[in-house]
Amino acid sequence: MKKIFGLLSAALFTVLAVVAPSFAADVIKIGVAGVHTGDLAPFGIPTVHAAKIVAEKYNKEGGLLGKKIELIVLDEQCKPEVATNVATSLVTSKVVGVIGHICSGATKAALPIYKQDKIPVISPSATNPSLTKIGYPVFFRTIAPDNAQGKLQEEFIVNKLHAKRVAIIHDKGDYGKGLATYLKNYIEKSGKAKVVLFEGITPGAMDYSAVVQKIKRARPDVVMFGGYHPEASKIAMTMKRKRLKMPFISDDGIKNDKFIQVAGKYAEGVYASGPKDVSGNPLYKVALNEHKKKYGTEPGAFYYNAYAATQALFEAIKKAGTTDFAKVTHALRTNYVETPLGKIKFDKKGEAEGVGFAVYQVKNGKFVQVYAPSK
Amino acid sequence: MERLVEEVKKSLITAAWFVFLTFPMIVVKLHSAENRVSYRWINALYVAIGAFFISFIWRYLLERRDKKSSSDNVEDSLVYKVLNHPVYSKILYGAVFVFVLIFPLLFSTYQTNIMTTALIYVVLALGLNIVVGLAGLLDLGYVAFYAVGAYGYALLSKYFGLGFWAVLPMAGILAAIAGIILVFPILRLKGDYLAIVTLGFGEIIRIFLENWDGLTNGPSGISGIPRPSFFGMEMKVDQSLIFIYYITVALVIFTIFVVNRLQVSRLGRAWLALKEDEIACQSMGIDRVRAKLTAFALGATWAGFAGVIFAAKTTFVNPASFTFFESVIILAIVVLGGMGSIVGVIIAALMMILLPEYLRAFSDYRMLIFGLAMVLVMVFKPEGLIPFRGGRLVYKKREPGKDGSSNEKRAYS
Amino acid sequence: MDWSYFLDLFMSGLTKGSIYALIALGYTMVYGIIQLINFAHGEIYMIGAFVALITATILTSMGLNLFAVFILAILVAVIYSSAYGFTVEKIAYKPLRHASRLSPLISAIGMSIFLQNYVMLSQTADFVPFPEIIPVPKFLEKVSDYVDPVGVVIIVVTVVVMIALSLFVKKTKIGKAMRATAQNKTMAMLCGVDVDNTISVTFVIGSALAAIGGVLIGAYVGQINFYIGFIAGLKAFTAAVLGGIGSIPGAALGGVVLGLTESFGTGYVSSDYEDVFAFVILVLILIFRPAGILGKSNTEKV
C-alpha cells in the first residue's frame, strides 16, 4: 500500500509539474476552451483546428507584439461545472484572451470568472441571447444569437412559405428549446399564423414515430424542429415514410454535411437556417485550403466562425499594441477585420456586425441558400 | 515445463480470440460518407501481441487473488493497521488535516477548484454510503436529491433572495422530505426492483426540471446564483472559491463525524441488520419501515447539502448536470471504495474525480481507461479498495501459549 | 375517437416495444441466472448494430442483393455480439461470481463505459447512416398507407424469435440446464449441470437477441452511433423489471407495455413527458405487483 501511495504521489507531482503554468514572458497565451471529447466533440474540435491554424500563421509572421502565440487548449465537455474549472485554469495561466466556449450552458457558467479577471472571450458558437448581457463587457461572439435566427425563421415561414399552421418540435435542450420558443413567440406576435403543436422530444430516444403521428394529426403547413441533426434526420425520415409532405425546417444544428450524410435521400428538400453563405469570400477559400492542408479533411461545425474569432482577437491585440483589456476590447469594437465571414467588428453588446443568418434548402445533396433577409 | 507449454497455449488461444473479436472494430474502419471500408491490418498485430502478454499477467493476478482469499484473510490490511494504531493514526489524521488546510496556499485556484469538486463527491458518496453501504438499499437515483439541493438553492435565492447560509439547512431538509416521499410508496419493494424505481425517480425529477419552464427556466438553467457570503464581506471570485473550498472541507469533516457516529448507533445497527436479512431483522423487533425511511432521508440530506455547495460554486445550474450517469458515478465510488468503509469511500471519491481530471493528458483515451479501471479494481479487489471492517466482531483463534491473556480480539473500525 | 390515429400510435408502440423486448430478454435471462443487472448489455446491442453496418457496407459494395445482405448482416452481427457477450462475462463477471452483489454491477458499468469508448475511438463519435436493409415483402407494400411495413417486419421477426427462444428453453437439454441453474446453482451442479458453461450459453443467447434488435432498429431509424446502447439498455432494463425480471414472457410483455405506454402517452398527452410515463407505469405496476407483471413473488423462507 505504501508503495502505491508513493507511486501515486510521484505521479501526482509529475502531473502537477506539467500542468503548472510556466511563466515565460516571451509568449502571449490564448485559451481555447470547449468540448473536445464525448458525443459533442464534433462541435468543438473544429474550433481548436481553426485556432491552431490561425496561431501558426501569425507565429510564422513573427507572432503578436513581438511574442510567440501559445494556445492553451482545454476540454470542458460542455459541462458547466467543468467549464468553471477550465475557466479558472485559464485565468490562472494568465491568458490574455479566450476562444470559446462552445455550448451556451458552459459559457454561461464560465463567464463570471473571465469577467472578474477582465479577459476577453470570443465564442464561435454560443448563441444564447442572454450571454451578451451576462458576459458584458468581456463577451463577444462571431455567430448571431438565437433570437435573430428565430426571427428569420418566422419571416421565412410566414412570408415565404405562407404557412398558416405551424408545428414546432424541439429537443428540450438549451439551444433547441430556446430557439423553438423564440419562433413560437414571433409567430404568435405576427398574428399571421397559428402554432398548432409545440412539443419537446427526448433526444437519443429510439424513434419518434409517435410524435410524427401527432404532427400528422395536427395538420400543419410547416414543421419546425429546434435541435441537432441526429434527431432531425430521424424525424425527417419518419415524416417521409408516413407520407407527410409539408416542408420541414430546422436550424443551424442540422446545417452541416453530417445531416445530409445521415439522412441521405430523406434530407432532400429540408430547410435549415444557418450563417449566411460566405463561400464566395476569398478568405473563406483560404481558410478551407489551410484546413485541408493541415488536417486532410473538410472543416467541421463552426470552423469559420472560430477562424474569424481568432483573427479578430489577434488583430485587436495587434491594433491595441498591448494586451490591456480596455484597449483590446475597444479595438474589437471599433476595428474592422477581414475574415472568412466577411468584414466584421463587434457592436456595443458584443455581437458581431455583419454576421447574420440565411435559410438554406437541401438540393441534390447540398445546402443551397434560398432566402436571405434584405438587411 | 509442461505448465509453461500449457500457459503459452492458453495465451495463444486468447490472442487469436481477441484478434477475431476486435477485427471489425479495430482493423476495419468504416468510411460512411464514401460508403466503403478500409483495413488497418497492423492493428491486428498489436492486438495479438498485447492480448498474448496481458493474458499471462491476467491469469497470474487472478491466481494470486484467489490464493490470498482462500488463505486466512483475517489479517488486517496495512491501512487498517495504521488506522487502528493509536499513535500512527493520529499522526496520519493530523498530517492529512494540515495538508487539506493549506492546500489552497500550496496550489493554484484551479487545483483548489478541482479539489472542491472532488470533496463534493466525497460528501455525496458518504451520503449514498448510508443508503447502500449501511442499509443495503440499492439507490440508482441518488442524483435526484443532489438536484433538489442545487435547485433548492437556485430557486430560493432567485425568488426569495435567500442566502447560502439560510438555504444550506433548508436544502438538507427538503432533500430528506423528497427521500421520504420517494420511498414511502415503494417500501415493499426489494433489491433491484427498488433500484429501478429510484432510477426512475431520478429521471422524473430531471425531466420536470427540463419541462417546467415557468419555475426552473427549463433547459437553459438558472444562472447568477450568488456565492456564499462571509459576514457580508465582498470577495473576489478566487477568494470566494477558496472560501467554498473551506466550507466543503468543513462539511466533509462534519459528514465523516456524523456517519461515523451513525454506524455505531442503534439506528446504524438496525440498518446493518436490515442489510443482512430483512426478515430476521423484523423478527428481532426492528421497525423495518422506520429503518428504511431514515436511511433514505438521512442519505438524501447529504446530497441536499452537496447540491447547495455545487450550485454556489458553479453559480449556474441546469438539468443536464443531474443525469443518471452522475448517480452511477456516485454509486461506483461507494462500491469501489468498499461499501460502508469511510476511508475507502473518501479515497475512491478522490480517485474517481481527480483521475479523469489528471488523465487529460490522454484526452481521448481518458474514459476508456476510466471504464477499464473500474472493471479491474472490481475484479482484483471485489470488496473495494479498503473493505469495510466495522460493525461486526471478528473472533480470532490464537495459538495457545503465544498469547494466553485473551483469545478473542475485537476488530472495529 | 379517431381510430386510425389510435392504430398508428398502437403500431409505433408495438414496433418500439418489440425492440425493447428483444433487448430486455438478454437482461432478464442474465438476471435470472446470476442476479446481475448487466449494464453492458446495451453496449452489446450497439456493437451488434455496428458490426451489421460494417458487414452491410462490405457486402453491398460486393454487389449482393438486399435479402442476402440482410440475412448475412444479421448473422455476422449475431456471431460478434455473442462473442463480445461471452468475453465480457469471462473478463468482468466470472471472476466475481462469489463477490458481493454490487461488485459485478460496478464492473458491468465499467465495461459499459469501456465498450462505448472503444467503439467511439476505433470507429467514430458521429452518427453514421444505416442502410435500409430490411426487406419488405410485396404484399406489405400495398398496405403501407395504413401500417409501416418495416414495423410489421420487425414485429414478426420479434415474435418468431420469442417463440424459438421459449421452445429452446423449454425443450432442449441446455434450456433445462439454464432453468435449473436459475433456480438453484448448487443443486444444478450436483445434478451434473456444467454451471459455468450454462452461464456462458445464457450470455451468448442474450447477446444474440440484442444483436438482432440492434440490426432491426438501425435499419428502422436509419442511423446509429456509439451511444445508442445506453438509452436503449436503460429502457429495456425497465421493461424487464416491468414484466418481472427473470421471466422470459415477462420481458416480452414488459417491452410491449413500455412501448405502448410511451407511444400513447406521447400521442394523447405530451412527448415532453415520454420518459415520465414509462417510469410512472413502472412504479404503479410495482406498487400492485412488487415482482412485476409476470414475476413470481417468492415468499422468503427463513
Return left, alpha or beta for B139; rule: phi > 0 is left, psi -120 to 50 is alpha, else beta. beta
Q: How far is A135 from chain C (nearest CA, A)?
A: 31
Nearest CA in chain B to A15: B358
Looking at residue A16, what is its pLDDT? 44
C-alpha distance from A345 to closest chain C C-alpha (Å): 34
Residues A263 and A364 in one domain: yes
Query: In Å, how far is B151's CA from the nearest CA of chain A?
Result: 14
**Nearest by CB: C227 against A39, A237, A266:** A39
Higher local confidence (pLDDT), B227 or C208: C208
Confirm or reject contact between C19 and chain A (CB < 8 A). Answer: yes
Task: Output the CA torsion sign for A94, A96, A98, A99.
Answer: negative
Which chain B residue shows the shortest CA-CA distance from A90? B110
Where residue A254 sits, what CATH number does that domain have? 3.40.50.2300
Contact C278 B200 (CB under 8 A): yes
Q: For residue range C96-140, what is the model confidence (pLDDT) as tens digits?
A: 988 888 889 889 989 999 999 999 889 888 889 998 888 888 777
Say if A343 is an interface residue toward chain C (CB within 8 Å).
no
Residues A49 and A139 both lie in one domain: yes
Interval C171-181: pLDDT, tens: 999 999 998 88
The distance of A335 to chain B (nearest Cα, Å) reads 31
Please give the grid coordinates belonging to residue C225: 452511433
Both A269 and A156 in one domain: the answer is yes
A97-99: strand order across its sheet: A68-75, A27-34, A97-99, A121-123, A139-141
Whether A39 is in a domain gets the answer yes
The strand pair at A357-363 and A366-371 is best described as antiparallel
Residues of chain B with CATH 1.10.3470: 83-380
The Cα B307–Cα B150 span in angstroms is: 4
All cell numbers assigned to B395: 473472533
Q: SS3 for A349?
A: coil
Task: Say whether both A254 and A117 belong to one domain.
Answer: no
pLDDT at A75: 86
pLDDT bucket at C146, cuts 50 / 70 / 90:
confident
- Residue of C28, C102, C230 to mutate, testing the B interface (most B Cβ within 10 Å of its Cβ): C102
Query: Is the confidence at residue C212, as pLDDT, over 90?
Result: yes
- Under 8 Å CB pairs connecting chains A and B tally to 103
- pLDDT category at A215 given cuts 50, 70, 90 is very high
Is residue A8 situated within a structural domain? no
Chain A residues touching residue C225 (CB < 8 angstroms): 39, 230
Number of helices (H) and strands (E) in chain B: give both, helices first: 16, 4
Nearest to A210 among C13, C127, C222 (CB): C13
Locus of grid cell 453496418: C53
* Domains, chain C, ordered by start: 3-288 (1.10.3470)
pLDDT of residue B362: 66
Mean pLDDT of A62-75: 88
Residues A270 and A189 in one domain: yes
A357 dihedral zone (left: phi>0; alpha: psi -120 to 50; beta):
beta
pLDDT for the residue numbered C202: 93
Query: What is the mean predicted confidence (pLDDT) over A275-303?
Result: 87
Helix (H), strand (E), coil (C) string for A112-147: HHHHHHCCCEEECCCCCCCHHHHCCCCEEECCCCHH
Cis omega before residue A101 (within 30°)?
Answer: yes
**Closest chain A residue to the Cα of B225, Cα to Cα:** A109
Q: Determine the distance in angstroms separating the CA of C223 from the nearest CA of chain A, rounded to an integer.
A: 7
Look at B315 and A105 and tell me if their CB atoms are within 8 Å: no
Of B35, B197, B384, the CB nearest to C57: B35
Predicted pLDDT at C90? 93
Yes or no, beta carbons of B110 and A88 under 8 Å apart: yes
Q: Is the peptide bond before A137 cis (omega within 30 degrees of 0)?
A: yes
Q: How many Cα atoms occupy the beta-carbon half-sphere of A186 within 13 Å?
A: 21
Q: Is residue A140 part of a domain?
A: yes
pLDDT at A343 > cutoff 90: no
In a domain, A3, yes or no: no
- A77 in reach of chain C (CB within 8 A): no
The reply to whether residue C274 touches residue A241, judged by beta carbons under 8 angstroms, is: no
Nearest to C174 by CA among C149, C202, C212, C215: C202
Residue A40: strand, helix, or coil: coil
The number of folded domains in chain A is 2
ipTM associated with this complex: 0.89
Interchain pair A108, B223: CB under 8 A: yes
Structure confidence at residue B402 (pLDDT): 46
C235 touches chain A (CB under 8 A): yes
Is A4 inside any structural domain?
no
List chains adjacent to chain B, taking adjacency as at least 3 C-beta pairs closer than 8 Å.
A, C
Cell of A127: 448563441
Distances in whole angstroms, Cα of residue B33 to Cα of each of A197, B30, B149, B242, C123: 35, 9, 46, 50, 13
A110-124 residue pLDDT tens: 998 898 889 999 999
Domain B83-380 belongs to what topology?
A: ABC transporter involved in vitamin B12 uptake, BtuC (1.10.3470)
Q: Which residues of chain B have pLDDT under 70?
A: 69-80, 232-234, 360-363, 389-413
pLDDT tens digits, A148-195: 889 999 999 999 899 999 999 998 888 888 899 999 999 999 888 999
Q: CA-nearest residue of chain A to B318?
A: A105
Report how far residue C134's alpha carbon sits from residue C70's, in angstroms, rounded to the nearest whole number.
Answer: 6
A187 with A38, same domain? no
Q: Which residues of B touch C286 (CB under 8 A)?
A: 186, 189, 193, 197
Residue contact B207–C278, C-beta within 8 A? no
Residues of chain C positioned with their CB less than 8 A from the CB of A268: none
Q: Do B108 and A2 touch (CB under 8 A)?
A: no
Q: Look at residue A108 and tell me if it is in a domain.
A: yes
| pLDDT one-digit tens code per residue, A4-56 | 444 444 444 444 444 444 444 588 999 999 988 766 777 888 999 999 999 99
Q: What is the mean pLDDT of chain C?
A: 89
Residue with the bigger pLDDT between B108 and C59: it is: C59
B332: chain C residues, CB-CB within 8 Å: 106, 109-110
Residues A220, A201: Cα–Cα separation, whole Å: 18
> What is the span of the domain harbouring residue A262?
147-277+357-371
Q: Which residues of B touch A178 (CB under 8 A)?
A: 219-220
Q: Confidence band (pLDDT; 50, 70, 90) for C299?
A: low
A97 falls within a domain: yes
Q: Which of A262, A265, A298 to mutate to test the interface with C (most CBs of C within 10 A)?
A: A262
Tens digits of residue pLDDT in A357-373 = 889 999 998 899 898 87
Same domain, A96 and A157: no
Q: Report yes or no on A315 lying in a domain.
A: yes
B107 touching A (Cβ < 8 Å): yes
- A337, β-bridge pairs: A344
